[in-house]
């Protein structure tokens, strides 16, 4: 079937006036000989947006390779068939959505399809953070949950994240569930017209009870100590949905409300003040720094648009503008330290590319430790977990309530830790120094190679596997671990882990969400300066290593992102 034929078949079943108009115009232009329109159509129908362990995520638009109402309807029908087979007719599926374009539309379509399939479909009352949906799966004893969000992706994207209840305890899907759901979705797509699928408006819209239960549970993460009184701080929601829920929790837990970044506090799917709505991206927190300087704030907390991630920034005279964002490893190690101090048993967990400092914390307090593949679908499943994190600003601090990263509960935990330090006259910078004195001088960084042709990443990984490096940054490579196949307790993944004689570590892997190859660098020094020097040498060596594995592309030049600091 040609792209034009596929587009006409798609057009016939598309219920969305916007994408119908968009697609109809492209068809006409392509038939009139417009090469650009023909190429656009070919891309839109080159395949299907793949459903995997991250659910669906992609650019909004008409076509099987985009996020739209046809694709979402097919996904909902496939998921409904999976849930019925797993949990039976009448099982509960809860649906949430954020402030991105079409999130509410996709959520209502899903609710109608679930209800039409004989399931109990429960729609959250309004746009809410992803952690509230993850909480609701457990709270409502649902068989599954769907969150319509693209998290911190670009403004033109949207996505469809799936959670499972029952024995999965509200975690995101993993294999083989992802493949089984994908097969059901494909069966629906192969059957043809979505207009034949049964729909029903007999779905429930929850009242505030679910949200109130999440607010109450999260306020208990860290009730405000005396040191919270008068604490000046700044918060940004990054044009997302975090502020309303967080503000309610702050009031209940006894914390002062923050000075907010007004231009970013209300949900806005256009994300007008940032090029990329991700606190990790250079420039994304500039308005926060400006607000903090004007307010005389002691620190900044930032959520990403669906509030499942948390960024923390502190004053730093060495940084441009006088403020710097802490790395995910720094925040993760501080919160892990907090969790370990009060845990009597259980485990700390992090992704294998996150700081090895968490294992040191676990051993110091006699707790178990687990390193997992990247993603909270794996971290949340660590046996006996009391805390988990990944370096990409994700933290799980309340596993009995939410089995996923939660930027709101992490914010409350961080507020509690900062307020307790204030009682002793200490700052976040002092906490970082105390961590170093107690556990060691850990430092980390990252080298990223963005490519246009993803096959280049495979070529680089193959070259590194074919000939392991003998030294990186002038330090001998002691051993190389290839995690392509699981061995013992090690997880399986397209990952190379290289250990150096001085205890440093380099992990090379393809990005799971972007066309990038990433090298994660970790060192442990005898002092902060020693750790920084080791990291600089390792960074230069890692860039040379990746460049040698492939003449093109070259690694990104230093200084294109915020420089991580030690924790």
Q: What is the pLDDT of residues 176-219, one digit of tens each?
A: 999 999 999 999 999 989 999 999 999 999 999 999 999 999 99
Average pLDDT, the chain: 92
CATH of domain 208-431: 3.40.120.10
Question: What pLDDT is attached to residue 560?
Answer: 39
Q: Which residues 6+ apart lie within 8 Å of 302 measured at CB?
A: 235, 236, 237, 238, 279, 285, 288, 310, 311, 312, 313
120-123/204-205 β-pairing: parallel
Let me know the angle formed at the C-alpha of 558 by 452 and 451, rounded to the nearest 5 degrees: 5
Q: Please determine, for residue 567, whether its predicted confidence score (pLDDT) is greater than 50.
A: no
Altogether, the residues listed in the chain come to a count of 567
Confidence (pLDDT) at 486? 57
Q: 53-207 and 208-431 share one CATH topology?
A: yes
Q: 516 or 400: whose pLDDT is higher?
A: 400
Taking only the tens place, the pLDDT of each residue in 113-164 is 999 999 999 999 999 999 999 999 999 999 999 999 999 989 999 999 999 9
pLDDT at 545: 86
Average pLDDT over residues 356-379: 95
Average pLDDT over residues 361-390: 96
pLDDT digits (tens, 9 = 90+) for 158-170: 999 999 999 999 9
CB 520 within 8 A of CB 391: yes
DSSP-based helix, strand, coil % in the chain, nearest 5: 40, 20, 40
**Strands annotated E in 165-265:** 171-172, 204-205, 233-236, 259-260
Q: What is the pLDDT of residue 555?
A: 43
The class of domain 53-207 in CATH terms is alpha beta
Q: By the 8 A CB rule, do 6 and 64 touch?
A: yes
Domain 440-549 adopts which CATH fold? TATA-Binding Protein (3.30.310)
Predicted pLDDT at 562: 36
Q: Residue ranges per domain, the chain?
A: 1-46, 53-207, 208-431, 440-549
Are the C-beta atoms of residues 373 and 334 closer than 8 Å to each other?
no
The whole-angstrom separation of Cα 499 and Cα 348 is 22
Residue 271: predicted pLDDT: 96
Whole-angstrom distance, CA of residue 38 vs CA of residue 29: 8
Cα–Cα dist 350/348, whole Å: 7
Contacts of 471 (CB under 8 A, 6+ apart): 477, 541
The pLDDT of residue 214 is 98
Q: Which of 264, 278, 340 is nearest to 309 (CA)?
A: 278
Asked if residue 20 has pLDDT above 80, the reply is: yes
- Judged against a pLDDT cut of 80, whether residue 487 lies above it is answered with no
- pLDDT value of residue 558: 40
- Residue 136's pLDDT is what? 98
What integer is the mean pLDDT of 69-73? 97
pLDDT(351) > 60: yes
- 170/166 Cα distance (integer angstroms): 7
What pLDDT does 557 receive? 42
> Could you give the angle at the alpha carbon of 59 between the alpha carbons of 56 and 63, nearest 5°?
85
Q: Supply the pLDDT for residue 192.
A: 83
Catalytic site positions: 151
Q: What is the pLDDT of residues 280-314, one digit of tens each?
A: 998 999 999 999 999 999 999 999 999 999 999 99
User: Is the model's pLDDT at 77 over the cut of 50?
Assistant: yes
| C-alpha distances out from residue 465 to 217, 235, 460, 478, 547, Å | 47, 45, 9, 15, 15
- CB count within 10 Å of CB 231 equals 17
Please report which confidence band the pLDDT of residue 484 belongs to, taking 50, 70 and 90 as the band edges: confident
């Amino acid at each position: 079937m040609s792209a034009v034929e596929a587009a006409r078949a798609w057009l016939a079943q598309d219920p969305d006036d916007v994408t119908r108009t968009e697609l109809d115009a492209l068809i006409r232009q392509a038939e009139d000989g417009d090469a650009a329109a023909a190429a656009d159509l070919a891309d839109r129908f080159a395949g299907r947006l793949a459903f995997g362990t991250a659910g669906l995520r992609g650019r909004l638009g008409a076509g099987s390779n985009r996020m739209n109402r046809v694709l979402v309807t097919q996904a909902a029908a496939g998921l409904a068939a999976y849930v019925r087979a797993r949990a039976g007719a009448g099982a509960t599926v809860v649906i949430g959505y954020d402030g991105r374009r079409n999130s509410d539309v996709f959520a209502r379509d899903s609710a109608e399809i679930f209800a039409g399939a004989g399931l109990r479909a429960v729609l959250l009352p309004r746009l809410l953070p992803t952690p509230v949906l993850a909480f609701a799966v457990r709270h409502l004893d649902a068989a599954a949950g769907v969150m319509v969000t693209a998290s911190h992706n670009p403004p033109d994207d949207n996505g469809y994240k799936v959670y499972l209840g029952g024995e999965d305890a509200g975690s995101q899907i993993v294999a083989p569930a992802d493949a089984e759901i994908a097969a059901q979705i494909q069966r629906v797509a192969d059957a043809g017209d979505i207009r034949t699928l049964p729909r029903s408006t007999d779905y429930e819209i929850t009242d505030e009870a679910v949200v109130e239960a999440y607010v109450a549970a999260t306020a208990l993460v860290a009730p405000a100590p005396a040191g919270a009184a008068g604490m000046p701080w700044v918060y940004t929601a990054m044009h997302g949905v975090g502020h309303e829920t967080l503000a309610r929790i702050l009031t209940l837990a006894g914390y002062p409300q923050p000075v907010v970044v007004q231009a970013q506090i209300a949900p806005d799917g256009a994300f007008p003040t940032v090029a990329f709505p991700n606190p990790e991206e250079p420039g994304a927190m500039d308005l926060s720094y400006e607000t903090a300087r004007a307010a005389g704030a002691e620190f900044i907390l930032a959520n990403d648009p669906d509030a499942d991630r948390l960024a923390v920034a502190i004053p730093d005279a060495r940084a441009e503008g006088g403020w710097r964002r802490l790395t995910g490893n720094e925040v993760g190690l501080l919160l892990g330290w907090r969790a370990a101090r009060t845990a009597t048993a259980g485990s700390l967990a992090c992704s294998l590319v996150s700081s090895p400092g968490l294992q040191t914390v676990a051993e110091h307090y006699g707790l178990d430790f687990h390193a997992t593949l990247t993603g909270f679908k794996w971290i949340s499943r660590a046996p006996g977990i009391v805390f988990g994190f990944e370096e990409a600003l994700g933290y799980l601090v309340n596993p009995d309530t939410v089995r996923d990263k939660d930027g709101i509960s992490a914010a409350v935990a961080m507020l509690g830790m900062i307020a307790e330090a204030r009682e002793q006259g200490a700052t976040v910078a002092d906490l970082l120094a105390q961590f170093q004195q107690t556990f060691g001088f850990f430092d980390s960084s990252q080298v990223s190679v963005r490519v246009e042709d993803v096959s280049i990443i495979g070529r680089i990984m193959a070259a590194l596997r074919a000939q392991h490096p003998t030294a990186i940054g002038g330090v001998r490579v002691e051993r190389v671990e290839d995690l392509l196949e699981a061995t013992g307790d090690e997880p399986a993944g397209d990952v190379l882990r290289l250990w150096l004689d001085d205890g440093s570590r380099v992990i090379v892997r393809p990005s799971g969400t972007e066309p990038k190859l990433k090298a994660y660098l970790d060192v442990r020094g005898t002092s902060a300066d020693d750790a920084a020097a080791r990291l600089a040498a390792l960074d230069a060596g890692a860039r040379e290593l990746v460049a040698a594995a492939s003449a093109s592309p070259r690694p990104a030049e230093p200084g294109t992102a915020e420089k991580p600091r030690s924790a």
